[in-house]
Amino acid sequence: MTDGVVLDKVELRLGTKDFRFNCSLPAGAVTAVTGPSGSGKSTLLNLVAGFETPDRGHVLVGGEDVTHEHPSGRPVSLIFQDNNLFTHLDLFTNIGLGINPSLRLSADDRRAISKALQRVGLDGFEKRMPGTLSGGERQRAAFARALVRKKPVLLMDEPFAALDPGLRLSMAKLLLELHREVGNTVLIVTHDPDEVGRLADHAIFIDHGQILLQAPTTEFLARRDIPALAEFLSG
């Protein structure tokens, strides 16, 4: 098993909260990041993305030590619940920024943008402004941007939480299709045990800033010996 993301004895203090993360998440797999509210799920993603720097320990992505790498230099893409798009820029530009922040785009880049829009079901949406899109369409656009960036790791923080149940299912299906096509390493924060079962190969459970369990999904969903996890699983 190759490591996609490693947090090697990472320690971080934010305000009065202490986080200690030690884990090795497999490359090319979907790992669900779960835990009670305030347990440290977003903080773990922020450490991988580079929005937080550990006080101690190392963060490795694809075997490369990125602990002190600026977020823009890390081989990761991000999709959040919202705020994925710049509201004053059309979709073509929003997605182009994912390829090159100065928007110097080659003919190939331009074709890649249109192809990515097509792939996520937004064929011909290049000139649309984010404000004119539905929530599901905005998430599709965020997927298109992640696609053109071609980064080996995709970090998703509750990407579907704002969507209604039907849309959640179709976005989960799209995520899995794209994941199988590109073989990336996905970390997805979710509060929903059903989503863990639907999407993830592995899952971790965080409580009070520490990882209490890392296991393959089937084992994870069957465990009842950790009270906080049992509570999470019973919804």
Ligand X SMILES: Nc1ncnc2c1ncn2[C@@H]1O[C@H](COP(=O)(O)OP(=O)(O)OP(=O)(O)O)[C@@H](O)[C@H]1O
Residue with smaller CB distance to ligand X, 42 or 77: 42
Examine residue 14 and tell whether it contacts ligand X (CB under 6 A). Answer: yes
| Residue 77 binds ligand X, judged by CB under 6 A | no
Query: How many of the chain's residues bind ligand X (CB under 6 A)?
Result: 11
Q: How many CB atoms lie within 10 A of CB 147?
A: 24
**Min CB(146)–ligand X separation in Å:** 20
- Which region, judged by CB under 6 A, interacts with ligand X, from 11-19, 68-76, 137-145, 167-175? 11-19
Contact between 15 and 38 under an 8 Å Cβ cutoff? The reply is no
Between 42 and 139, CB nearer to ligand X: 42
Give the shortest CB-38-to-ligand X separation in angstroms.
4
By beta-carbon proximity to ligand X, the closer residue of 19 and 143 is: 19
Question: Where in 25-64 is the site for ligand X (CB under 6 A)?
Answer: 35, 37-43
Q: Indicate whether 15 belongs to the interface with ligand X (CB under 6 A).
A: yes
Contact positions vs ligand X (CB under 6 A): 14-15, 17, 35, 37-43
